[in-house]
Amino acid sequence: MPPARHLFATCILTLSALGAGAGAHAADWVSYRDAYRAMVVFEKYGGPKHGLQHHLQVVPLEKGVALEGVQLTLAGKANQVNLALDPLGRTAFPLLKAAYDENAALYLSRKIGAFSVRPRVSLLPQADGVYDAAQLRAGCEQALGFARHADASQRALQCGGVRFVFARRAGEIAVRLHRLDGADQVLAPVNGPAFQGDADEGFPTVVYRFAGAERAQVISANVPLAIVPLFE
């Protein structure tokens, strides 16, 4: 088994590939132990991460594969837990020693050949929808620090900005850049993927790119599903 950090770096864990054992469900589940080893890397990371959140994401591998109605279930010998997925397919992954020891299974309620599971790091949203540019940059730098820790190939990258991702039915997206001199700039949404490389490009997104030590605020009237760091 690869070390945990390598598992995180390569945890585009194709569910069908990780299915193991004999029987009808051999290609229908992923090892909880393998997912645990990938996800625990973030928990053990000693660098700054107070501005971040960490999820396990179920990701369609092809365009047109919908997540609506998909259920992810952790099934052990004694009980099972339904892991609720948000509109991006993310869930708060439970780190359970008992499930690890028995190598419980993660089942998806769909035929899973078209899905993978991936660790995802994003910035914490603010209840008031107001984000200082310095705060967004600091969050991106925290995410990049972790990415470099988990995968040495990320060391050459820099923080370019952040992507605000909104629900498909969020209505009119209203995001503006407010500079301290009083000037406002509307940041227009475009459809795109939530995370780089996702097949689903149908989410309303707004990108804010860092510009030096700009003193400004990004103000969103809509609550984002995710704020994704952009590495370039």
> Average pLDDT of 27-36?
83
**Which residue matches tokens 């998909």?**
70
Split at pLDDT 50, 70, 90, the class of 164 is: very high
pLDDT at 153: 87
Residue 218 has pLDDT above 90, yes or no: yes
Mean pLDDT of the chain: 87
pLDDT (tens digit per residue) in 83-130: 999 999 999 999 999 999 998 999 998 876 778 889 999 999 999 999
Task: Output the pLDDT for position 111.
Answer: 75
Question: How many angstroms separate the Cα of 172 from the Cα of each of 1, 128, 175, 209, 223?
Answer: 47, 18, 10, 22, 12
Pairwise CA distance, residues 196 & 208, whole Å? 15
pLDDT above 70 for 20: no
What is the per-residue pLDDT for 29? 80
Give the distance, in angstroms, between the CA of residue 56 and the centroid of all CA atoms in the same chain: 7
pTM, two decimals, is 0.88
Domain locations in the chain? 4-121, 126-231
Q: Are the CB atoms for 70 and 108 separated by under 8 Å?
A: yes
